[in-house]
Amino acid sequence: MFDSLSDGLQSAFKSLSGKGKLTESNMRDGLKIVEESLLESDVSYSVVQEFMGHVTEKALGKRVLLSLRPQEELVKIVHEELIETLGPVDPSLHLNADRPTILMLCGLQGSGKTTTCGKLTQMLREQDIEPLLVAADLQRPAAIEQLKVIGEQLGVPVYTETDHQDPVKVCKNGVDQAKRNGNRVVILDTAGRLAIDEELMDQLKKIDRKVGPDQVYLVVDGMTGQDAVNSAGAFNKALELDGVIMTKLDGDARGGALMSVKQVTGVPIKFIGTGEHFDALEPFRPEGMASRILQMGDMVAAAREA
């Protein structure tokens, strides 16, 4: 259709001269284009609808700033609303002062959990904290080995049990080990699972109940599509998540699924993964993500400067 959102909006508003108010009728085409753009960036349909409702409400009757063209005014409103939806930020791991902090990573298969264990470890190492990694994925071939290698590369201990078939016990024993060894942080690497797999979701709930992690993070693939509302909703329902980490944002994925995840869970987005190496973990910044989802960096910058 259009190469970019800005081109589309430009043409949608071309009948409208410089100044005036945003009205339902003069915004109609522009809103339609914003809506399609969000869907193309993989924000889930229901989330887009709700979002567009808010934007329309905010925009109606708004006087267009003298220095802005109407499409820029609309983009500005959309961008600000996106930032608001994606925030607020909270990159803290909320470490306990008096006892080990247990972090648990969970998510769909292949989303990046094990790699993110390594990245969090690297981050903690920079603060002189040595975490204990617990290999609680007893499912995927060589998952334990993968975490062991990561532990070796980063020089931190990894708790493994090769003869156990019960991840709940492995997690419990791992936490006990951390207490004995005086590790301030324990990171549980759980097996990937489908949100509709009741048996495996029950297993996660059991770990949650019996081990009581302080922080439970959902690791979401940045390339996820419409299903994000369902899967994130199910993980949040089972576990009461404390945060979200979105991975694989080093490519050209627009990452709109993050909007869906945020909307359905309401928990803060903690970090984003931007590569396979351990240093490729960044604190989440809503502004950058909003521009990325809308894929309109230049236009937003122009509108914000005005």
If you ran DSSP here, which 8-state letter would residue 195 be given?
A: T
CB of 78 to other proteins, least distance (A): 17
Query: How crowded is residue 100: how many other Cβ atoms within 10 Å of its Cβ?
Result: 20
The interface region with other proteins, picked from 17-25, 64-72, 172-180, 191-199 by CB under 8 A, is: 191-199
Total residues in contact with other proteins, by rule CB under 8 A = 48
Does position 295 bind other proteins by CB under 8 A? no
Which of the residues 3 through 32 are near ligand GTP (CB under 6 A)? none
168 binds, among other proteins, Mg ion, ligand GTP, none (CB under 5 to 8 A by kind): none
3-state DSSP assignment of residue 185: strand
Confirm or reject binding of residue 110 to other proteins (CB under 8 A): yes
Half-sphere exposure of 278 (CA within 13 A, CB side): 18
- The C-alpha atoms of residue 293 and residue 224 are separated, in whole angstroms, by 13
Asked whether the CA dihedral 160, 163, 168, 173 is positive or negative, the reply is negative
Q: Which of 6, 122, 231, 291 binds other proteins (CB under 8 A)?
A: 231
Which residue of this chain has its Cβ atom nearest to ligand GTP in the complex?
Answer: 192
Q: Hey, what are 242's tokens?
A: 């404390």
CA distance 279 to 118: 9
- Three-state SS sequence of 24-74: HHHHHHHHHHHHHHHHHCCCCHHHHHHHHHHHHHHHCCCECCCCCCHHHHH
Q: From the CB of 8, what's the least distance to other proteins, in Å?
A: 12
Distance CA 80, CA 34 (A): 13
Stretch that binds other proteins, among 54-62, 83-91, 140-148, 168-176 (CB under 8 A): 140-148
Considering CB distances under 5 to 8 angstroms, the limit depending on partner class, which of Mg ion, other proteins, ligand GTP, none binds residue 160?
A: none
Binding site for ligand GTP (CB under 6 A): 107, 109-115, 137, 140, 143, 191-192, 194, 219, 247-248, 250, 273-276, 280
Binding site for other proteins (CB under 8 A): 1, 36, 39-42, 44-46, 49, 108-112, 114, 139-143, 145-150, 153, 194-196, 221, 223-227, 230-231, 248, 250-254, 256-257, 276
